[in-house]
Every structure is written in C-alpha cells, then in structure tokens.
Structure 1
Amino acid sequence: MSDTFLQRVDAMVRAATAEDQAFSDLMPQIMSESQGLPPVVLNMAMMKMGEGIAAAPPNLGCWLAIMAGAWVENGATTFGVAEPVLAKTIEVATASGEFADAWRTATGNEPPGPDGQPSQEIVDTVGPHLRDPVGAMMAWFSMERFALSANTMLSKTPDLRAGVTDREHKAKVIDRLAGHCEQMGWVGLLLRVLDGERLLVLERESRRGWTVTIGGIGDNFQLHTLLAGALIGRPGGLPGTPPSPEVIACFQDADTPPDRPVISSPWNLVDAHGEWIYNEGVPYDIPAVNGTRVVVLDPPSYTRHFPAGRKHPLMTGSLTLDGMHEPEDLAGWWPHIAPARNPVGA
C-alpha cells in the first residue's frame, strides 16, 4: 500500500514540475487516498513533496504545498517540506508585490482579489510593466495557498522560525500583501516569533530579576501569562496565586475549551525605556539593552481581563526560568532602566 502511494506521489510531483495535465487527475486522487494513511507513510513522501514545491510553477506547486500542510496538521513531519514552502512563499510574495505595483501603475486601481482567476486580459494589463507578467500573475493567484501552508509550517517547526535570515526584510515583503490576503498577514506575524530568546525580567519594587528563555510565543498576552506561571507562587519567585495549570496549558500546547477561561493580569509590563509593553504586541518588538530584551514588572494601573488561548493555535509556546538575580547582581542594569511612563497621562 505504501509503495503504491509513494509511486503515485512521485508521479504527481513529476506532473506538477512538467506542467503535465495528468496533475489535475492525480492531485485529488492522492489527497483522498492520503486521508486514510498513518503519518509514518506520509512522512516517507515529504522529501518528494518538498522537491515538487520548490520546482513546480506556483499555480501547481501551491496545491502540493496545501496538501503537505494538511498532512502536517494530521501528524506528519515537516521535515523536507517546511523550508521549500517558506522559500517559495517568500518568492511568490516578492512576485506578487511586483504584480500589485504593476497593476496600480497600469490602472490606477487596486489589483483583483487573489482568490480570482488568471486571464489573458490580466497579462495584457500588467505586461508592459513586468519582465515576466505571466509568472507574476500566477504568483498573485497562488499566494493564498502558499500562505496557508507556510502558516502551518512556521507554526509547527521551531527550527524553521529560528533559522530565518534577513527576518525583518522578509516580513516586510509579506506584510505588503496582508491587505489583499489575510493569510499573508499571519505569515508576517510568525516570521517575527522568537525562539530560544533570552529575556531579562526585572521587578521594579524588589529590584530582583530573572532570566527566562522563550519560544513560540505569538503575543504578549501569552508572554504575560507564562511569566505569571513561572514566577508567581514559585520558590525564588513572587508572592501570589499563579494561573491554574489548565490555563497555563492553553498558552502552551493544549486546546482551548469552548468556554474559554478568563484570567486577569498581575502586572503592567514595561520596557527598559519606560514604555508600556502592550499585550496586543509581540516579544519581537520589546527593545534590547546591551543585546538583551528587558521586561520590567510594575503593579497594574488597572485590572485587565483576557481569555485564555494562543494567537497561533498550532504553535507550542514555552517559557523556561533559567535563573534568579538578587538586587546586588543587577546594580549595573538599573541605571539603564527608565521609570514607567503612563501612556494615557493619568
């Protein structure tokens, strides 16, 4: 059974790469057949799928990417496909940005929705302004599928996120398309997720501090809660009642129940410059001092309530407490830490 399936996958990938009409028959057959297969069989097909995603034109490679993403969400490995999906998504995003610019230049209007269909009329419209108008058009109409797959790959693969080079440039290329394709906006957010990042956490009142390592944290609601779980009511931590294990699990890797628990915030999070670290933001935006991002814990100005759960449900979040620092250990840090500023002027 597995040998037959792998042979069909190989045939499908060859058809996609060669732009053979057989692809339109093979793709739905393999998608249907794969639904009953265990992850161990799907894993054996992933290297071949990755080769196809890298080599096929975007209008066909995007379907391979969607299929690979579905397999990953059903338990298959990302090995062999995660890097090709992300690389192709960046490539498609770059071409899509050029398509959008050419369309605006040619028409004075916003480009058609990426869920539409390619046409000769579209090629004729952008053709005078692009070196490869057909390729740019195909990229535009495939970007949503690549973005869906890239969301899965980035969410499920910490090594892929951690290995992104030229991160801010790539995120900006993606961000340009967020107004046209919501999924691209999510890719941009995931490109800015930090993994294996050390933070220095300081409590202003006691002048104590802690070093923590974070990974897979999608927003500062999640950071806030995992910090509370690591520090409150723990030896060497802070007094109080920590969030329940069930709530903490919702911010790590557990499914959030339909009746989402609502929790309250124990602190204001403030950066080294005294600016508030808003829960709606992300750890990536916290400024560094001497190469280290700093979070200062202040008493809350008002009670904040928010529901449990992760911004990126497929991504596992982690926060590890690495060490505690007494006030005398931090004497050299506090001169670099500004007083908190109240953004509402109260």
Structure 2
Amino acid sequence: MSDTFLQRVDAMVRAATAEDQAFSDLMPQVMNESQGLPPVVLNLATMKMGEGIAAAPPNLGCWLAIMAGAWVENGATAFGVDEPVLARTIEVATASAEFAGAWRTATGGTPPSPDGQPSQEIVDTVGPHLPDPVGAMMAWFSMERFALSANTMLSRSPGLRAGVADREAKAALTGGLAEHCEKMGWVALLLRVIDGERLLVLDRASRQGWTVTIGGIGDNFQLHTLLAGALQGRPGGMPGTPPAPEIVACFLDAETPPGRPIVTSPWNLVDAHGEWIYNEGVPADIPAVNGTRVVVLDPPSYERHFPAGRKHPMMTAALSVDGMHYPEDLAGWWPHVAPAKNPVGA
C-alpha cells in the first residue's frame, strides 16, 4: 500500500509541476489514500511534496501545500516541506501585494475577494500595470491556501521560525495583506515569534533577576503566565502562589481546560525604558539593552484577568530559567533601566 501511495504522490507532484490535467484526478486519489496512513509513510511523501510546492505554479502548488499541511497536522514531519511552503507563501504574498496595488491603481477600489475565481476580465484590468498580470492574479487567488499551510508549518516547526531571515520585513508584507486574507495576518504573527532567545528578567523591588530562555511564545499573555509559573513560589524566585500546573501546561503544550479558566496577572511587565509591556504584544516587541531583551517585574497597577490558552494552539512553547542573579551581580544593569512609566496616569 505504501509503495503504491508514494508512486501516486510522485505522479501527482509531476503532474502539478508540468500543469498536466492528470493532476485533477490524482489529487483526490492521494487525499483519500492518505487517510489513516501512519506518519512514517507520510514522512516519505512530504519530502516529495516539498519539491512540488517549490516548482509548481501557485494555482496548483497551493493544493500540494494544503495537503502537506494536513499531513503535518496529523503527525507527519514538517522537515523537507516547511521551507518550500514558507518560501512560496512569501513569493505569493509579494505578487499579491503587487496585484492589490495594480487593482487600486486601475479601479480606485478594493481588489476582488481572494477566495473568488480568476478571469480574463481581471487580467485585462491589472494588465497595464503589471509585467506578469496572469502570474499575479494566480498568486492572489492562491494566497489563502498557501497562508493556511504556512500557519501549520510555522506553528509546528521551531527550526523554520528560527531560520527566518528579514523577519520584520516579511511580517510587514504578510500583515499588509490581512485586510484581504485573514490567514496572512496569522502568518505575520507567527513570523514574529522568537525561539531560543534569552531574556533578562529583573525584579525592581528586590533588585535580583533571572536569565530565561523562551521559544514558541505567541503573545505576552503567554509570556506573563509562563514567567509566573517559573518564578512564583519557587526557591530563588518570587513570592506568591504560582498558577496551577494545568494552567501552566495549557500555555506550554496541553489542551486548554474546559471553560477556559481565567488567569490573574501577578505583575506589571515593564521594559528597560520604563514602558509597559502590553500583554497583547509579543516578546519580539520588547526592546533590547546591549543585545538582551529586558523584562522588569513591578507590582500590578490594577488586577488583570485573561482567559487561559495559547494564541496559536498548534505551537508549543518553552520557558526555562537558566540562572538566578543576585543584586550585586546586576549592579551594572540598573543604570540602564528607567523607572516605570504609567500610560494611564494612575
């Protein structure tokens, strides 16, 4: 069964790359045959899919990306397919941004919905303003599927996230398309997730601190809770009662408990410039001092409550405490840390 399946995958990829009409028959066959196959078989298939995603035109490659994303969600490895999916998603996003600009130039209005259908009328509309109007149109109508697959790959592959070059530029590109394609907005958020990065966490009251390493954290609600779980009530940590283990777990890699319990925030998180670190932001927003992002713990100005759970449910997170620092160890840091500012004036 596995040999037949892999042969069919190979035929489907070759048909997509060659724009062969056989693709329309092979794709549903492969989708049906993949149901229930063990990850070890799907792992072999994803490598071949990566080749097709990299080479096929976007209107066909996007279907390969969707299928590969489904396999990864069902336990297959992202290795070999994650980089091609992200590369094609950025390529499609670039062409889609050009398409949207050309459409506005030509019509003064909003581009057609990306879940619609290509047409000659669309090509004629943007044609005078683009060197490859057909290619741009095909990218536009494939971007939602590429974005869906890229969400899976970025969520499941820390190595992919860590290897992103020019992440802020790519996040701005994909985020700029979110008004047309919500899933591109999610790609933008995932592109800003940082992995394997050390933070310096300082307690202003005691002047002690900790070096922590984070990864896979989707927003500062998650950072806030994982810091509380790692530091509160722990030897050499902060006073207080840590969040319940099942709450910490659902901010790491577990399912959220039924009813989405409410979490209470124990601190204000403040950066080295004295500005609040808003929970709605992401760790990548935290400014660095001498190459290190600094988080300062202050007493809360008011009691914050938020529901438990990860912003990106498919992405697992990590936060480890690498070491504690006594006040005398941090004497050189505090001159670079401003007093807290309060934007609400309380």
Above 0.5 in TM-score?
Answer: yes
User: By how many angstroms is 1:168 displaced?
Assistant: 1.0
2:227 aligns with 227
1:72 aligns with 72
1:247 aligns with 2:247: yes
Secondary structure at 1:281 match in 2: coil
User: By how many angstroms is 1:240 displaced?
Assistant: 1.2
User: By how many angstroms is 1:239 displaced?
Assistant: 1.4
Amino acid of the structure 2 residue aligned with 1:304 = R
Aligned mates of 1:258, 1:21 — CA distance in 2: 47
User: By how many angstroms is 1:29 displaced?
Assistant: 1.2
User: By how many angstroms is 1:259 displaced?
Assistant: 1.1
1:110 aligns with 2:117: no
2:96 aligns with 96
Secondary structure at 1:226 match in 2: helix
1:321 aligns with 321
Aligned mates of 2:112, 2:101 — CA distance in 1: 12
User: By how many angstroms is 1:79 displaced?
Assistant: 0.8
User: By how many angstroms is 1:212 displaced?
Assistant: 0.2
User: What's the TM-score, normalizing by structure 1?
Assistant: 0.99
1:33 aligns with 33
Deviations 1:159-193 (A, max 9, x none): 00000011111111111101100000000000000
1:337 aligns with 337
Aligned mates of 2:46, 2:80 — CA distance in 1: 6
Amino acid of the structure 2 residue aligned with 1:165 = A
Aligned mates of 1:203, 1:240 — CA distance in 2: 13
1:265 aligns with 265
Secondary structure at 1:251 match in 2: helix
Checking the alignment, whether the CA contact within 8 Å between 2:246 and 2:257 is kept in structure 1 is: no
1:138 aligns with 2:138: yes
Once structures 1 and 2 are overlaid, which stretch shifts more, 255-264 or 240-249? 255-264
Deviations 1:217-259 (A, max 9, x none): 0000000000001101111101111011100000000011331
User: By how many angstroms is 1:267 displaced?
Assistant: 0.1
Aligned mates of 1:72, 1:259 — CA distance in 2: 28
User: Deviation above 6 Å: which 4+ runs of structure 1?
Assistant: none
2:10 aligns with 10
Aligned mates of 2:48, 2:231 — CA distance in 1: 46
Structure 2: stretches of 5+ with no match in the other structure: none
1:169 aligns with 2:169: yes
Deviations 1:11-63 (A, max 9, x none): 00000000011101111111111012111110011111000000000000000
1:302 aligns with 302
Percent of residue pairs bearing the same amino acid type = 85
1:155 aligns with 2:143: no
Cα-Cα RMSD: 0.6
Aligned mates of 1:302, 1:169 — CA distance in 2: 36
1:42 aligns with 42
Aligned mates of 2:167, 2:92 — CA distance in 1: 16
Amino acid of the structure 2 residue aligned with 1:334 = W
Aligned mates of 2:240, 2:177 — CA distance in 1: 45
Structure 1: stretches of 5+ with no match in the other structure: none
Aligned mates of 2:307, 2:156 — CA distance in 1: 23
Amino acid of the structure 1 residue aligned with 2:106 = A
